[in-house]
Structure 1
Amino acid sequence: MTYAFTPADVAFLRSPAGVSALASVASLPLTPASYLADVATARRLLGDRTGPVLETVLLRRKAVSKVDDPGAWLLTDSALQQATPAPVARLRARRFAGRAVHDVTCSVGVDLAALVATADRCVGSDLDPVRLAMARHNVPGATLVRADALHPVTRGTAVFADPARRDSTGRRTWRPADFLPPLDGLARAWPGADLAVKCAPGMDFGVLPWPGEVELVSLEGHVREACVWTGSLATAGRRATVLRSGSPEWTVTDAEPDDCPVREPGEWLVDPEGAVVRAGLVRQYAARHGLGQLDERIAYLTGDEPPPGTRAFRVLEHGHYSEKALRQTLRRRAIGRLEILVRGLDVDPNTLRPRLKLTGPDEATAVLTRIGRTPTAFLCRAVRS
């Protein structure tokens, strides 16, 4: 069970006594081995203030991947789970540069903090008084009001929304009508406004006729979120943006050429970033980098040179896939460690791996797919180009 914060808890955590209490608990290791003893220490020091202080310290430790300077933030568990990672929030905030913007579901202020850094003026609103109180602490540069996202309290602003995507039981929902607030309701509530709405990457965007652009974002190799844009905020029909530490940010859109051939396997296989695949931009990405498709319905690409900064697979050999043939190849090459990638075939890597009876000092990647109707196996070396 997570702790349910009250407005009084937030007021205490913001006070000098609360700051001191947080510092004292933050010094405890709170590891699995020490947790019970550490909680007993916290209770001895703080009494009935233990709950909000301990929960805040634990949430700050979890928030490292989500916010800058997490040791200064006030958070709730559910707000942290839904929060946008800071690099993605900064990416999105750039489109609002120099504008007046209203974050109509500001929660504890993660997206609002990024918007404040780029926008000319920021308003944040939410219905939850606890989250609003936390946002006042977290984002002192914004104007904050308690308001319903479906009942506008500003005019002439660009609008950002991050609806809740879990139902009353806490289960994730993919239906836009079940979001809180629902997506079509947001579009009706803000007619004519330049609107950006954070969405679940796995939803069917075809059911939304009103967005001008759908953007998918990958962060550190994982598809983290989608955003739909309207009005002047929309700059393409579909966009994939890729963020990875140590590499330049890049993006591909449906405005680019998509003339990539279906060709015979080359020296390399390339598995495009998830955002590129989810956005339906595999052909545009391939055309940009001189790659071809193995099959027009499969996202694996092939070529004689991989794109820079991409994890690609140098082909060692390939042929018709069968479990027996793959097992023989792996034994012949003394492969004892194997990454298995599958697309277009009904194969479960976790079920297949123990049946392959891997043994030997070497390692490789098996890419299992189909070319036309032919199941095909590629044995490869993974390389970061």
Structure 2
Amino acid sequence: MEISESTWAFIAKHRREDVRDVALHAKHDGDVDVPFALEQIAGWQRASLKLPDWASHDGLIFPPQVPMEQCSSQFTAQYKARLAQRLLDGEAVDDADDSPTSLVDLTGGFGVDFSYMSRVFDHAIYVEQRSILCGIARHNFPILGLGHAEIINDDSTAVLDTLGRASMIFLDPARRDDHGSRTYAIADCTPDVLTLKDTLLAKAPTVMVKLSPMLDWHKTITDFAGAVHEVHIVSTGNECKELLLVLGRGRCASPLVVCVNDGQVLSYKAGDNSDNQTPISDSALVACNTCNTEDLPAEESANGFDSSHWKYLYEPNASIMKAGCFAVLEQRFAVHHISPNSHLFVAAEPISDFPGRSFVIESIATMNKRELKQLLAGLTHANISVRNFPLTVAQLRKKLKLKDGGNTYLFATTDAQGRHLVLRTKKRKSGSL
């Protein structure tokens, strides 16, 4: 790609400025490719948040908006690289072959996942059918120090037919149809990994597939008919970003499930006695938080209600919620769920490594007016969450006459006896007991 020095200088001068202001007001000479420069300024600004390592390299070219939106973040790409290293090390233990290791990324895209994963291998092949992205990869990879990368501009299935043996194949099937609309079902993505499963595993003993976090991973395991050996549910900032499947040769009845949210990691075997609860879907989460307000009694009583052992409240992170492994939490962390549908947990003792947020419970009330008045004493602001509760956050905030914010966290939920409860809490400080 031939880019003038004037264009690079213009990009460097204005890349921290608002792109719209630059487009309207920035002065430039006739040698500046303004549309390209504006696209690069916008791309660098997105990368500075999503890919800070990449943004620190001068001279990289960023693609149009859609590939930038679709590409992995630095955190998720680095996670895949660590996973690839572990899988490669495990394969080496079982395989006496000391030939060079190789990665084939059949859906290269912008190349973020490839750039991190390829460093684990002796040789790496980037495959991408869009010529513009291949051109960007040819420009960027040397700057990123990927001298061992081979770039192939072709359709993934065509390359797969001619591909020799590889140590690992990686795919991130396109999740948009011909009209640009998002798709989620595996069979609707391109390429269709379900159809190619046997061919992929004939070429490589390990295949890693990145899928939409919206998928029902239990059904996905069933769809792959025993080929899934590991499931990784990857979140960052408590937002579920991607579902990673590790496919292997030989049938696996109980895949390893790994729930990751930044530094929090929980793993267990799917199908064992601890994985006996149905995961809550994203749509079900919305539904249980928007119930009919007519179901809410005007007055409730706390007679016979003993919560003296409820000292700490624990809220699982996004990956745990996606996995639905609530029985695993109870077994490993000595916590107890408030009710099977609330997905909030309580304990008498502080837990330092719970995979989620933790709070100190200050007081608990039912929806009885007198109890609520005592619970809200001195409170003008609060952060409110509802789980399995017949009011939305907005409705409850209006009812309690509280503004948003502050250091107090209110959790409204329903216990196993059907009582509507409000728990007043404060966040536990990291490392505090």
TM-score per shorter chain, which class? 0.7 to 0.9
CA distance in structure 1 between the aligned counterparts of 2:312 and 2:105, rounded to whole angstroms:
45
Compute the displacement of 1:48 (Å).
6.8
Give the aligned partner of residue 79 of structure 2: 91
Say yes or no: does 1:253 pair with 2:268. Answer: yes
Say yes or no: does 1:172 pair with 2:182. Answer: yes
What secondary structure sits across from 2:428 in the alignment? strand
Compute the displacement of 1:241 (Å).
1.7
Structure-2 change in CA distance of 1:60 and 1:47 (3 Å): same
Structure-2 change in CA distance of 1:282 and 1:138 (3 Å): farther
Q: Which runs of 5+ in 1 are unaligned?
A: 1-10
CA distance in structure 1 between the aligned counterparts of 2:27 and 2:219, rounded to whole angstroms:
51
Q: Which runs of 5+ in 2 are unaligned?
A: 89-100, 277-305
1:316 to 353, 362, 386: 362
CA distance in structure 2 between the aligned counterparts of 1:109 and 1:361, rounded to whole angstroms:
40
Give the aligned partner of residue 111 of structure 2: 109
Give the aligned partner of residue 187 of structure 1: 197
CA distance in structure 1 between the aligned counterparts of 2:47 and 2:244, rounded to whole angstroms:
22
Structure-2 change in CA distance of 1:40 and 1:294 (3 Å): closer
Compute the displacement of 1:107 (Å).
1.0
Structure-2 change in CA distance of 1:311 and 1:105 (3 Å): same
Taking the TM superposition and a 5 Å limit, the aligned residue runs for 1:152-231 are 152=160, 153-157=162-166, 158-192=168-202, 193=204, 194-208=206-220, 209-210=223-224, 211-231=228-248
Query: What code does the residue aligned with 2:50 have?
Result: K
CA contact (8 A) 2:363 2:375 kept: no
2:150 to 127, 140, 143: 143
1:51 to 24, 35, 53: 35
CA contact (8 A) 1:335 1:360 kept: no
Structure-2 change in CA distance of 1:29 and 1:360 (3 Å): closer
CA distance in structure 2 between the aligned counterparts of 1:355 and 1:297, rounded to whole angstroms:
23
CA distance in structure 2 between the aligned counterparts of 1:360 and 1:102, rounded to whole angstroms:
49
What secondary structure sits across from 1:44 in the alignment? coil
Query: What code does the residue aligned with 1:353 have?
Result: R
What secondary structure sits across from 1:340 in the alignment? strand
Structure-2 change in CA distance of 1:376 and 1:171 (3 Å): farther
CA contact (8 A) 1:342 1:368 kept: yes
Say yes or no: does 1:368 pair with 2:412. Answer: yes
CA distance in structure 2 between the aligned counterparts of 1:229 and 1:347, rounded to whole angstroms:
40
Structure-2 change in CA distance of 1:224 and 1:383 (3 Å): same
* Cα deviation digits, residues 157-208 of structure 1 (max 9, x gap): 2111112223344333222222222332342542433211111112122343
Query: What code does the residue aligned with 1:134 have?
Result: I
Aligned-residue sequence identity (percent) comes to 20
Query: What code does the residue aligned with 1:110 have?
Result: V
Structure-2 change in CA distance of 1:273 and 1:116 (3 Å): same
Structure-2 change in CA distance of 1:175 and 1:269 (3 Å): same
Give the aligned partner of residue 378 of structure 2: 334
Give the aligned partner of residue 7 of structure 1: none
TM-score calculated relative to the size of structure 2: 0.74
Say yes or no: does 1:12 pair with 2:5. Answer: no
1:74 to 49, 61, 69: 61
CA contact (8 A) 2:385 2:412 kept: yes
Alpha-carbon RMSD: 3.1
CA distance in structure 2 between the aligned counterparts of 1:326 and 1:169, rounded to whole angstroms:
55
Say yes or no: does 1:307 pair with 2:352. Answer: yes
CA distance in structure 2 between the aligned counterparts of 1:259 and 1:163, rounded to whole angstroms:
28
2:400 to 356, 372, 382: 356
What secondary structure sits across from 1:339 in the alignment? strand
Deviates most, 71-80 or 273-282? 71-80
- Which 4+ runs in 1 deviate beyond 6 A? 232-235, 359-362
Matched pairs, number: 361
